[in-house]
Amino acid sequence: MRRFFRPAMMMGHGAPNRTIALLCLLIMGGTSDCTESSERPGGTPDSDAILSDQQGGDASEVGNIAPIRTIYDRYPTFAGVAVDPVNKIAVFTDDNTQSVLIYDSDTPGDSEHITEFSKRIAGPTSRVSSACGIAVDPEKQEIYVLNTDFRNNMLVSSYQQSGDAAPLRELEVDHGGWGMYLDHQNYNELFFTIQHLNKIAVYRPNAQGKEEPHRFIQGPKTGMSDPHGIFVDTKNDEIVVTNHHSSHQIETGVHAATLNFRHMLQSTGRFKLASITVYSRTAEGDAAPLRTIQGPKTGLNLPLGVVVDPERDVILVANDQTHSILAFSRTAQGDVAPLYAIEGPATELKNPGALQIDRENNELWVTNWGDHSVTIYARDARGNVAPLRTIRSASRGEPLAGLGRPAAIAWDSRRDELLVPN
């Protein structure tokens, strides 16, 4: 994904110094590193500005000098979601300001203004960084948080913790973990998707340190292609995974040592259509999927979070690029159209990323990475339907910088724009 900015938005007066000023622009390696978290009590940021002007000196200066301007997003963005209706909390990962946000699950919310959180876990001691996947154990009152693309670890904290609190335990995971599913009621297993290794790793929930997974699914027969979302359907004994389009073959059983991809097989990279792959819950090694949903009729485009509604026998997918939730028959296979979708301007969906069904209250929770919001719908919602309520981390209409671990920058002099790949 690329984001475009006009240099004039960032640069001060003095066209001759523009190129020098561009060279002084620092990209700190990710959304989380480009964000300052400076909040008042209750979660209200100090400033409403997405572009922060700072008084810079002459461009010829060297040493400890301030940037002329900075592009960043100071508001939390909602990534993963976990709802605990028993203890009446909803927990979200925030990959922008590197935090975990805890809300009352029955908070009325406000579709226009910031919703106050009840607790926030953040800070160097907490070890929360580019947090993505999240899960909760209502019985033990524990929160599981997966860091991706930075620390390569999974953290466990208690419901009672807040602020810069150290985790109860920590588990090393392969680089590129994104999705997480905790089965604490049936088979006592913890699942991760590993994007770059086309892998599902399965651990025991209490795993910590450098403990190895007790099994994994990985290899060319699996059909996994940059896997993201994961849901374990214990009723039907199946694992459901969403896959993006970029693909490369990986040797079975490979681990990732930070950014060392020496096991990546040469000349195998290609683009495929996004897909949903379904495996036996007990699958292991280079196991072929039981079913695959893939093709132009599916409408899948960067599918992220996925859940199975066992009572309705449907698979629900957060479809990022079409700003929609797609519903497929649980047993669907091949190039099939969705049964229905939640889609349209009334839905307020904007780059949906994660979703969860609250079966006790018959609600569907969806995080919107592109709009600083969480939208909550009736469980059987469909079509262009308005949410029941909304949780916001920024006021409605607040622009989003959209920076997601930027790693380079280029200036298009003809269009006077900056190109930032994420």
Segment 232-258, tens digit of pLDDT: 999 999 999 999 987 777 767 666 554
318 vs 72: which has the higher pLDDT? 318
Bridge partners, 279 (sequence order): 239
Which is it for the CA torsion 237, 249, 316, 149, positive or negative? positive
- Please give the torsion angle defined by the CA atoms of residues 71, 37, 136 and 353, in that order, rounded to the nearest 10 degrees: -10
Is residue 395 pLDDT above 50, yes or no? yes
Give percent of the chain with pLDDT exceeding 90. Answer: 66
Mean pLDDT lowest among 110-119, 128-137, 267-276: 267-276
| Whole-number Cα distances in Å, 278 to 131, 222, 351 | 26, 9, 24
Q: In whole angstroms, what is the distance from residue 298 CA to residue 195 CA? A: 22
pTM of the model: 0.83
Res 24: pLDDT: 40
Is a pLDDT exceeding 70 seen at residue 60?
A: no
Q: Kindly report which listed range (171-185, 288-302, 314-328) carries the lowest average pLDDT score.
A: 171-185
- Taking only the tens place, the pLDDT of each residue in 158-202 is 999 999 999 999 999 998 899 999 998 889 999 999 998 899 999
17 confidence band (pLDDT: 50, 70, 90): very low
Is 229:216 a contact under the CB 8 Å cutoff? no
Amino acid at 173: V
Reply yes or no on whether the pLDDT at 18 is more than 50. no
Strand locations in 126-214 (E): 131-137, 142-147, 153-158, 169-172, 177-183, 189-194, 199-203
Q: What CATH number labels 78-392?
A: 2.130.10.10
**pLDDT (average), residues 312-324:** 97
Structure tokens at 163: 């602020």
Q: Residue 78 pairs with which residues in a beta bridge?
A: 94
Write the secondary structure of 357-399 as one string of H (helix), E (strand) and C (coil). EECCCCEEEEEECCCCEEEEEECCCCECCCCCEEEECCCCCCC
Q: Around Cβ 55, how many Cβ atoms within 10 Å?
A: 7
Say whether 149 sits in a helix, a strand or coil. Answer: coil
pLDDT band, residue 59 (cuts 50/70/90):
low
Q: Report d(CA 228, CA 125) in Å as an integer.
A: 28
Instruction: Compute the 3-state secondary structure of the chain and give helix, strand, coil in percent, each to the nearest 5.
Output: 5, 40, 55
Q: What local confidence, expressed as pLDDT, does residue 254 receive?
A: 66
Question: In the predicted model, what is the mean pLDDT of residues 377-386?
Answer: 97
In degrees rounded to 5, what are phi and psi of residue 170? -145, 140
Q: How confident is the model at residue 397 (pLDDT cuts 50, 70, 90)?
A: confident
Cβ(363)–Cβ(381) under 8 Å? Answer: no
pLDDT at 384 over 90: yes
Residue range 358-377: mean pLDDT, rounded: 96
Q: Average pLDDT, stretch 371-389? A: 97
The domain spans of the chain are 2-72+406-421, 78-392
pLDDT at 62: 79
User: Token digits for 367?
Assistant: 């995080």
Question: Does 393 score more than 90 pLDDT?
Answer: yes
Q: Is 271 exposed, middle or buried (0-12, 13-18, 19+ CB in 10 A)?
A: exposed
CB distance 355 to 326 below 8 Å: no
**CA torsion angle for 156, 189, 314, 362 (degrees, to 10)?**
-50
